[in-house]
Amino acid sequence: MKPLFTFFIIAISSCESDVNPLPAEPDLLLVDDDYLISPAFGDLDNITLIILNTSGVGLRVNQNIPASELCSTAKVTLDKTAKSIVVDFGAGCTSSNGINRKGKVLLSYSDRFILAGSRVIATFDNYYVNGNKIEGKRTVTNAGLNLIEGTISLIVKIENGKIIWPDNAFVTVESDQTREVRLGGDGYKASILGNSKGKSREGIDYTSDIIEALIVTESCLESGVWVLSTDVLKFNFENNDVTVDYGAGTCDKAVTINYPGRSKDVILD
């Protein structure tokens, strides 16, 4: 009877293996959503730094605000009494690096941004980047300036963030991040940590955490690719843990997505 019993146990184990295959592949469209969210809001860093620095509110003073750095027809209005700046892209214009913007970015600031504790709040008036509408409130707070290292620490918070595609599909996002930004003659370079949550275009609730610092450079962002170096994001949605590894040292759109039981190399678009 013992051999028969052993065979019976093996048969049961085999059946259990057959009815417990690898989990189904999760909906990875969320990774594409995040890739589109990040540069849309990250583009504000470029706009904000240009405007603050050239208006005398940032890290250097120059009263001649060169709207042409954004696009030739952009109009910048500074109200020092109200501590507000309106960047108006009108019906739409394209910058020299190919970014099309239209509508208005509304900036309000508490003090000169070189001072610790100062903050800049960005809101939007019918504002679009490359055809996608941007909504929400983004607050950037100066958490400290290191003159020796040439870095500034920032706390960045997005509230009620929303990106709407031309077909009316949309994603929502709320996020809290810390950024170490190095400023230099070749533009800024930011090391980012933090977390976010929201709802994807498919209506899926998600959370994400940056578990290895996301590195963003001005030149990479302006080229249309927002990741330069080491970056690992961890998503959780529909009870799935998914990590996205952007690799190290290359400004490209190639990533490795790891999810239960397998992984996939993809090019984001």
pLDDT at 121 over 90: yes
pLDDT at 139 over 90: yes
pLDDT at 43 over 70: yes
Torsion of Cα atoms, 197 then 202 then 203 then 204, to 10°: -50
Answer yes or no: are the C-beta atoms of 106 and 113 closer than 8 Å.
no
- pLDDT, residue 211, reads 79
Q: Is the dihedral angle over the CA atoms 58, 251, 258, 266 positive or is it negative? A: positive
Q: Comparing 71 with 3, which gets the higher pLDDT?
A: 71
Biggest alpha carbon–alpha carbon distance for the chain? 94
pLDDT at 6 over 50: no
**Quick one: DSSP state of residue 69?**
G
Q: What is the pTM of this model?
A: 0.76
CA atoms of 8 and 152, how far apart (whole Å) = 67
SS3 158: strand
Q: Comparing 259 with 231, which gets the higher pLDDT?
A: 259
CA atoms of 20 and 173, how far apart (whole Å) = 35
Question: How far, rounded to the nearest angstrom, does the alpha carbon of residue 62 sit from its chain's CA centroid?
Answer: 29
Question: How far, rounded to the nearest angstrom, does the alpha carbon of residue 79 sit from its chain's CA centroid?
Answer: 29
pLDDT at 204 over 80: yes
Answer yes or no: are the C-beta atoms of 100 and 93 closer than 8 Å.
yes
How many residues are given for the chain? 269
CA atoms of 250 and 97, how far apart (whole Å) = 19
pLDDT at 46 over 50: yes
List, for residues 59-89, the tens digit of each pLDDT value: 443 344 455 567 878 888 888 888 888 989 9
**Quick one: DSSP state of residue 23?**
P
